[in-house]
A and B are shown apart, each in its own frame.
Chain A
Amino acid sequence: MKRVFLLALRDLRLEVRDRAGLLSVLAFFAVMLFIMALALGPEEAALRRAAPGVLWVALAFGSTLLSTRAFALEVEEGTLDDLLLTPGGKEWIYFGKLLFQMLLLLPLALLSLFMAAGLFYLPLERLLSLFLTLALGVLGYASVATFYAGLLARLRGREVLLPLLLFSLVVPVVLSAVRATLGLVEGLPLGEVAPWWQLLLVFDVVYLTASALLFPLVMEG
């Protein structure tokens, strides 16, 4: 458990010290949201209706930029094998990297929610519920992304391959996250939004367990 935190904190420190990666992802969110808002026109109702979809597509695209970073440094520095050589199970590497991804993605997701709120007239009264949706959706996405990033870490064309593989797998997550966000924005009662949270939770648990179980099998040898 301690190792998981140590690994995540080390990666986070490296990432924050570097800054260039984080800033480019943030800029990507901003530009994408801005272009989509421009493309969809000035009408308020239409913008608000489209906002959840735009937000989640931007999040999905933006976080693929980040997902390769989880293992990129390890491969560059040749430290991935050292990590794998540590005694005991290998799951902790997966969880450490996942935690790192979540620590990066959650603030970014929150920021892009505020950006979307500004550009798309999103009401933010139910911020807590919106944040719960963000957390559940981002976790579902990151659980698969981290797994694939580890699997493809040593591959040359991973920047192209990763999103291709990822998007088809996480479509259910994105879909239910969009539905939940839409419900919240349109002011549906929580009882009608809850099934989407349930669905997200099921996805998260299943993807997380499956990835954690498969990770050692795939990384060894």
Chain B
Amino acid sequence: MLKAAQPNQPDALTWVFLGLGFLLLPIGLYLALSAPPDVNQGYLVRIMYLHVPGAWLGYLAFFVTFLYSLLYLFRQDPRYDRVASASAEIGLVFMGLALVTGMLWARPTWGVYWTWEPRLTTTAILFAVYVGYFLLRGAIEDPELRRKAAAAVGILGFINVPISYMSVKWWRSLHQTQSIDLTTGKIHMDPAMLQALLFNLFVFTLLYLGFVRFRSLLAAMEARKEEA
């Protein structure tokens, strides 16, 4: 993502992403708050406009980490590692947002903040994997070994995502859970709600792209300072 070897300030594209993201954020918020209430859940459903983009970006960010970890292992270029770790960091923030909003949503709808439902469990595991990613980065002093080890976790950790989703299906076939499936609700959605959701997804993605580029730049500057 960062092509310049010695960048000193964010490039134009980073500013475009961040600027557009923050500019459109209030509009997304307005759309979310003015969207029609849900038949069953009423105004409660508006948590979705924060919850779904958070989860989506968590997955996207971890995918980017996976991709750049692979690139790093094959090319051994520290720039790829910086993007991977920046993406993991931001992914962790978004994933945390999804978990927190999910819990706030679960309390009034399911009656509890947390239940060991497959999707919740797999998300929590995913969160723990990337917390481990940063624990590892913090624990290794040798920069090259740190990058390699982090890349390994970034790759192996991501493998968890698709498999965990298959486990959801297998679990379902065994045990019937009464909890609401958050993904199937999307299909029977009012067009106005869908529009608001898609718009918010778009805005959050812009912000993510801006954040990653910005964080990678910071990491590059840190690395240069460390060397100097």
Contact A151 B152 (CB under 8 A): yes
Contact A172 B160 (CB under 8 A): yes
A38 within 8 A of B: no
Cα separation A206 to B159 with both chains bound (whole Å): 8
**B129-181 interface with A by 8 A CB criterion:** 129, 131-132, 135-136, 139-140, 144-145, 148-149, 151-153, 155-157, 159-160, 163-164, 166-167, 170, 173-174
**A132-152 interface with B by 8 A CB criterion:** 144, 147-148, 151-152
Contact A155 B131 (CB under 8 A): no
A161 within 8 A of B: yes
CB distance from B62 to the nearest CB of A (A): 13
A164 within 8 A of B: yes
Contact mask B100-113 → A, CB, 8 Å, 1/0?
Answer: 00000000000000
Contact with A176, one of B152, B155, B167, B173 (Cβ below 8 angstroms): B167
B67 within 8 A of A: no
Contact A169 B160 (CB under 8 A): yes
Contact mask B61-76 → A, CB, 8 Å, 1/0?
Answer: 0000000000001101
Contact A169 B157 (CB under 8 A): yes
B128 within 8 A of A: yes
Q: Across the interface, which residues of A come within 8 angstroms of B73, CB to CB?
A: 214, 217-218
Contact B164 A172 (CB under 8 A): yes
B125 within 8 A of A: yes
Given contacts A165-B136, A169-B129, contact A207 B159 (CB under 8 A): yes
Given contacts A195-B170, A221-B76, contact A211 B156 (CB under 8 A): yes
Q: Across the interface, which residues of B come within 8 angstroms of A196, CB to CB?
A: 170
Contact with B170, one of A199, A206, A210, A218 (Cβ below 8 angstroms): A199
Cα separation A69 to B131 with both chains bound (whole Å): 25
Cα separation A171 to B76 with both chains bound (whole Å): 30
Q: Across the interface, which residues of B come within 8 angstroms of A199, CB to CB?
A: 163, 166-167, 170
**A157-201 interface with B by 8 A CB criterion:** 157, 161, 164-165, 167-169, 171-172, 175-176, 192, 195-196, 198-199
Q: Across the interface, which residues of B come within 8 angstroms of A83, CB to CB?
A: none
Contact with A144, one of B135, B136, B156, B173 (Cβ below 8 angstroms): B156
Interface of A is mostly: helix
A166 to chain B: closest residue by CB: B132
A154 within 8 A of B: yes
B160 to chain A: closest residue by CB: A172
A203 within 8 A of B: yes
Cα separation A176 to B174 with both chains bound (whole Å): 12
Contact A168 B140 (CB under 8 A): no
A45 within 8 A of B: no
Contact B156 A210 (CB under 8 A): yes
Contact A157 B139 (CB under 8 A): yes
A202 within 8 A of B: yes
Contact A218 B152 (CB under 8 A): yes
Q: Across the interface, which residues of B come within 8 angstroms of A171, CB to CB?
A: 125, 128
Q: Across the interface, which residues of A come within 8 angstroms of B148, CB to CB?
A: 151, 217-218
Q: Across the interface, which residues of A come within 8 angstroms of B136, CB to CB?
A: 161, 165
Contact B163 A168 (CB under 8 A): no
Cα separation A157 to B76 with both chains bound (whole Å): 24
Given contacts A192-B174, A199-B166, contact A164 B149 (CB under 8 A): no
B122 to chain A: closest residue by CB: A172
New A-B contacts (13) at CB < 8 Å, excluding given A151-B148, A169-B129, A218-B73 = A154-B145, A155-B140, A161-B139, A165-B132, A175-B121, A195-B170, A198-B170, A199-B163, A199-B170, A207-B159, A211-B156, A214-B155, A217-B148
- Can you list 25 pairs linking A and B with CB atoms under 8 Å apart? A144-B156, A148-B152, A155-B145, A157-B139, A161-B136, A167-B128, A171-B128, A172-B125, A172-B163, A172-B164, A175-B121, A192-B174, A195-B173, A196-B170, A199-B163, A199-B167, A203-B163, A206-B159, A207-B159, A210-B156, A210-B159, A214-B152, A217-B74, A218-B148, A221-B76
The 10 closest A-B pairs by CB, nearest first: A168-B128, A217-B73, A168-B129, A195-B170, A168-B132, A165-B132, A171-B125, A218-B148, A161-B139, A151-B149
